[in-house]
Structure 1
Amino acid sequence: MSDTDEKTQGRSIWIRLWPVYVIAAGLLAAWLFGVFDYLSLDTLQAHNSTLQAFVAEHLVIAFIVYILVYAAATAFMLPGSVFTIAGGLLFGLAGGSVATVIGATAGASILFFAARTSLGKAMNERAGKLVRRLEGGFKEDAIFYMFSLRLLPVVPFNVANVVPALLGAKYREYAFTTALGIVPGVLAYTWIGASLGATFDAGETENLFDVVKNFIPALAALGIVALLPVAYRKIAGRKAARLEEAAK
């Protein structure tokens, strides 16, 4: 390969990394405008009355806006736990869970297509060790691997959004395993939000016992989510062990 070809290929790689620049710019803008300062339970409590009033008057609009905001947060790799809790606070356990699963899957899909159309080409040319280690097992059973990436804490959520695209996953299988795999965690954190709603509504007169009582179901759900990887390892057996070993 000539020096000219190498320079052209190098420029091409940097151009195809445009999704990285967009995500980095979004994170920088969020930091500059203090968005991260609003991602807290204190903020939810301070603005709870205003948010609840808006949802009561404009339920459909609020539902759609929440999904769009969650999708954008996922695409820009912002912390999702506070958004998930907010969904439970605003829409209850059922509504908040549905909205969060839709929003998170949509945001993950944005990263999937970005990785597949441009970022993935650049990354495949400079294939990371993780992608190479997962490639063999992924070709053997792609659905199992994608579902396992959601249930087993082997890689961060944002990494799990991109890796399947780099390995040539089919989108319909990716979307299905993403939506299904995040349900347990979404339910647990949404339940916390619903419990917060009951606590905020009760005001300062509520005693400690009642506060704890509101959170017992949510805490139980979190406990179950924490135990799911253990149960899944038992069920999946050697396949799960190989995936965890490859991801190390």
Structure 2
Amino acid sequence: MAEAPSSTQRKHLVPLLVLLCLALALAYVFRDALSYEALSENRMRLIALRDAHYALTVLGFVAAYTVIVGFSLPGATVATLTGGFLFGTFPGVIFNITGATFGASLLFLAARWGLGEWLASKLDASEGRIHKIKQGIDKNQWSMLFLMRFMPVVPFFVANLLPALFGVAFHRFVISTALGIIPGALILTSVGAGLGEVFDQGGRPDLSVLFEPKILLPILGLCLLSIAPMLIKARRKEPL
């Protein structure tokens, strides 16, 4: 039977629960602010603020993006579009990646500080299928981390939590996050950079571009590249 969390770990759960409640409260308070409609209505104010205080706007934007991702608030896609709209594809994509990486890192550390280390130790000490899954992840961490970023088969916040709960090294998480989100961030930022014309026409951004072959096929190629080490191991009949 698995050992229960220690008193220290239980104390760590208290601030995590506080953060969860705060995230729910923020999601409720800003449920209408983090939307495409809100961006459309306030676009002229945002442009005026950017033109008057560029550096301050950049810092505020990155901080807001960090909070959105760190608290897993709905609106990350709108935030990415906003980065492109305000700052262009470049340097907008840099600001988007920075905010997303900071926020993901904060969520990772919060999960690790709570039950992450305890759960990882329990998985290491377990037997059977669960232990084999944990071993497989440990032996193929880079492949799994990049695969989750290139092909988001799980929600972004889940991809931030799972590595912490499975004992992934922090530096590996940060590197794979910063590099792995580049393709998606670049595409959405470029879409955001063209929102001015969309606003003028009273339309909405066309995110179906993400599924066009010229976009999707290169991303699938990156997915295959990320799991290439696992395929090589399988061909050599090495345990995955």
Same fold (TM over 0.5): yes
**Structure 1 residue 114: Cα displacement:** 1.5
Distance 2:133 2:81 in 1: 32
1:85 aligns with 2:81: yes
1:39 aligns with 2:29: no
Change (3 A) 1:239 1:19: farther
Structure 1 stretch 227-236 or stretch 80-89: which is displaced more?
Answer: 227-236
Equivalent residue, structure 2, for 1:117: 113
Distance 2:132 2:219 in 1: 21
Equivalent residue, structure 2, for 1:30: 26
Q: Deviations for 1:131-188, whole angstroms, at most 9, x for unmatched residues?
A: 8564222221322221112112332211211222233322222211101100111111
Counterpart of 1:63 in structure 2: which amino acid? V
**Structure 1 residue 122: Cα displacement:** 4.9
CA contact 1:17–1:122 (8 Å) conserved in 2: no
Change (3 A) 1:131 1:51: farther
CA contact 2:16–2:110 (8 Å) conserved in 1: no
Greater share of helix residues, 1 or 2?
A: 1
Equivalent residue, structure 1, for 2:141: 142
1:76 aligns with 2:55: no
Equivalence map 1:166-205=2 (5 Å): 166-200=165-199, 203=200
The structure 1 residue matched to 2:45, chosen from 47, 50, 70, is 50
**Structure 1 residue 225: Cα displacement:** 4.5
Q: Secondary structure at the match of 1:17?
A: helix
Change (3 A) 1:118 1:27: closer
Counterpart of 2:153 in structure 1: which amino acid? V
Q: Deviations for 1:192-218, whole angstroms, at most 9, x for unmatched residues?
A: 211112333xx35x9xxxx89xx78x7
Q: Secondary structure at the match of 1:37?
A: coil
Gaps of 5+ in 2: 234-240
1:65 aligns with 2:60: yes
Q: Secondary structure at the match of 1:36?
A: coil
CA contact 2:26–2:73 (8 Å) conserved in 1: no
**Structure 1 residue 15: Cα displacement:** 2.4
Distance 1:122 1:81 in 2: 33
Structure 1 stretch 107-116 or stretch 119-128: which is displaced more?
Answer: 119-128
Structure 1 stretch 150-159 or stretch 230-239: which is displaced more?
Answer: 230-239
How many residues are treated as equivalent by the alignment?
226
Change (3 A) 1:222 1:50: farther
CA RMSD of aligned residues (A): 3.4
CA contact 1:18–1:119 (8 Å) conserved in 2: no
Change (3 A) 1:153 1:163: same
Q: Secondary structure at the match of 2:220?
A: helix
Distance 1:31 1:111 in 2: 16
Change (3 A) 1:69 1:83: same
Change (3 A) 1:30 1:48: same
Identical residues among aligned pairs (%):
30
Distance 2:66 2:101 in 1: 7
Change (3 A) 1:181 1:31: closer
Change (3 A) 1:175 1:93: same
Gaps of 5+ in 1: 243-248
